[in-house]
Amino acid sequence: MVQNTGMHVISGIETGNHIAKLKDDSPIDVAMAKATGATLTYEDGAQAVKLAREAVESFVQNGKREHPGSMRDAFYAKTGAFVRLESTRGRGSLRGCAGRYGIDERLGHVIVDEAIRAASDDSCGSEVTTTELDSITISLYTVNERIQAEDPVEDLQIGTHGVAIESEKGRGWLYPTVPVEHDWSPREYLDRTCRKAGLPPNGWNSDSARVILFDGQIFREREPNGSIQEL
């Protein structure tokens, strides 16, 4: 978790997937408040990834929403989460990513809902098919804290923070590992998040824009339906 060094800690709002805008009807929360989520043990994280896979498989195979059922204690915490699906076929590709960093729903239900959204055609343009399930790895990011940046370039730590940008013109976010994978600078990460929000590059520097940084934990499958590692 990042240290609060003069930045405001705030409550989050629901987001769209990492390649699209947030929902148009998502209200911008202007209230400042401490917003922290649950810290998961390795066992919690492994079960969370398993829950995400079960949700994806149930949706793809049967068109049904997987009910969390008897949840681990950590899954009752109200916090956000992101689910990312990656294909291992060929050179590999992103098959879906969805999430939210709000604090209004229990983690277990957020994982199920966002896993389904990641597997649906709302995410990367085409729904995951049954033949793909054995070649998809699942990673899960659970949100621990949301912070409003006062100096985004200085406050943003690549490899630690995810970024969301909110304004009256648009809102969007990018998954926290994306800038690491592409070797982006903080400024480039902010500029590209603006594009996802439908804003011009450097739109994050506008007085009407709000840059939200969130940090958390990442758990992922080493291979499709395989063992889980925490990054």
In-domain check, residue 231:
no
Q: What is the rounded CA–CA span in Å between residue 133 and residue 225?
A: 9
Total domains in the chain come to: 1
Full domain range(s) for residue 165: 8-224
In tens, the pLDDT along 43-68 reads 999 999 999 999 999 999 988 787 76
pTM, entire model:
0.79
pLDDT at 86: 92
Dihedral sign of CA atoms 31, 40, 73, 56 in order: positive
Q: Token pair of 204, please?
A: 């994050």
pLDDT at 82: 94
- State mean pLDDT over 60-84: 83
Q: What is the rounded CA–CA span in Å between residue 49 and residue 40?
A: 12
In-domain check, residue 1:
no
In-domain check, residue 126:
yes
The CATH code of the domain that includes 109 is: 3.30.700.20
Judged by phi (left if over 0) then psi (alpha if -120 to 50, else beta), residue 159 lies in left
Q: Residue 127: pLDDT above 50?
A: yes
Q: What is the rounded CA–CA span in Å between residue 170 and residue 21?
A: 7
Dihedral sign of CA atoms 171, 174, 176, 182 in order: negative
Using only C-alpha atoms, what is the Rg of the chain? 17
- State mean pLDDT over 79-93: 86
Q: What is the rounded CA–CA span in Å between residue 88 and residue 140?
A: 17
98 contacts 17 by C-beta, under 8 angstroms:
yes
In-domain check, residue 152:
yes
% of the chain exceeding 90 in pLDDT: 47
In-domain check, residue 230:
no
Identify the three-state secondary structure at position 86.
strand
In tens, the pLDDT along 159-217 reads 889 999 998 888 888 888 899 999 999 999 999 999 988 899 889 988 889 999 988 99
In-domain check, residue 3:
no
How many other C-beta atoms are found inside a 10 Å radius of the C-beta of residue 172?
25
> Residue 14 corresponds to which amino acid?
E
